[in-house]
Amino acid sequence: MSDQLTDLDPAPAPGPEVEQGRVRRWRRSLLQALVIVLVFAAVGAAAGWLWNHLYDAPRGIAYQKRWLGLDEKDYRDQFSGTALYAIIGGIAALVLGTALSYVLDRDELLTLAAVAVGAGAAAWLMYVVGVHLGNPDPDVVARTAADRTPIPGDLRLARWTVGLVWPAGGVLGCALVFFLTSKRSTAPS
90-100 tens-digit pLDDT: 999 999 999 99
- Which position has the higher pLDDT, 119 or 183? 119
Q: What is the pLDDT of residue 153?
A: 81
Edge-to-edge strand ranges of the sheet holding 66-69:
66-69, 59-63, 150-152
Q: What is the pLDDT of residue 134?
A: 87
**Segment among 83-92, 97-106, 148-157 with least mean pLDDT:** 148-157
Residue 141 in contact with residue 87, Cβ under 8 Å? no
Q: What is the pLDDT of residue 151?
A: 84
Q: What is the pLDDT of residue 117?
A: 97
Average pLDDT, the chain: 85
**Segment among 42-51, 128-137, 149-158 with least mean pLDDT:** 149-158
Mean pLDDT, residues 123-140: 92
Q: Per-residue pLDDT for 187 more than 60?
A: no
- What gap in Å lies between CA 106 and CA 43, rounded to an integer? 22
Residue 96 in contact with residue 40, Cβ under 8 Å? yes
Q: What is the pLDDT of residue 113?
A: 95
pLDDT band at 186 (very low <50, low <70, confident <90, very high): low
- What gap in Å lies between CA 50 and CA 44, rounded to an integer? 10
Q: Per-residue pLDDT for 15 more than 80?
A: no
